[in-house]
Amino acid sequence: METLLKCPICSSTNLESVMQIPDHFLTNEIFSISKCLQCGFLFTNPKPLKTDIPKYYQSEDYLSHKLKKLNILSTVYYFARNYSLSKKHSIITKQKTTGSILDIGSGTSEFLSYMKKRGWEAVGIEPLEYPREFAKQKYSLDIYPDFDFDNKNDTTFDVITLWHVLEHVEDLNLYMQKISKLLKNDGLLVIALPNHESWDAKKFGTFWAAWDVPRHLYHFSQTTFHLLLKKYNFDLISTVPLKMDSYYISFLSQKYKSGSSSFFKTIIKGFLSNRDAKKSENNYSSLIYLSKKKKSI
């Protein structure tokens, strides 16, 4: 395990352990959440070493890389994912009608395939080999294991997307530096993240599925993510809710808390979370942040 002595966002050493959360998904190990008392950022601390992280993803139920439906949970997941493809396309094309797009953490690349069919030059980064090869073979996409292609000085993109990926990356600041380098000066950065200030997060507490320790290393609120954008000279242009996420997260959280899931309770809690967010500062279960680089003076 590696203990962080400084806040990843503001570098303050004024840290406090505030929560102990089990890995409900896989191992039942307990992980600590540290809070930066300077800026309020939450992060998993200590975190697993880079060599140990892969074992926390080794499950047949890890849905973001599954290639087939097995049960009601995966059916719900795939329905929500397929529904969201057109919404993601719409959100992006309101800002950029066409061009080149890089999706970081592209998985099996259904999103990139969707964009490619609509005229976009689509490229992905996916560290896991089997979804990467699946995407190459099924969709004929260029998918890289990491940022190795950025050695070409002329490689830049009109749009860079990370759909529930930034919370997983080993080195938050390195990723933001790479992203800034690869995005065109007038480019669009689109990042989707869980929001630990949502109604469902408060309702389920340590059972909230989107803590997802230790796979989620960073835990953002709207405020702390704005601080990260500011640190790397990005201007936030809009925030869009992912309303379907409240239902999916509530489904998992209820299962973790009670040992069984209820479709009726999932619908009620998802609805209550979205209703609360509509009334209280846009604190939906998950949010999409759209930003652009600040123009140089």
pLDDT at 151: 58
Q: What is the pTM of this model?
A: 0.90
- pLDDT confidence band for 155 (50 / 70 / 90): confident
The three-class DSSP label of residue 275 is helix
- Cα–Cα distance for residue pair 280/20, rounded to 1 Å: 27
Phi, psi of 105 (to 5 degrees): 80, 50
DSSP letter, residue 27: T
Percent of the chain with pLDDT over 70: 89
pLDDT value for 55: 87
For residue 63, is pLDDT > 50?
no
- Cβ–Cβ < 8 Å for 267, 200: no
CB within 8 A of 210, min separation 6: which ones? 194, 196, 201, 216, 249, 285, 286
Burial grade of 3 (CB within 10 A; 0-12, 13-18, 19 or more)? exposed
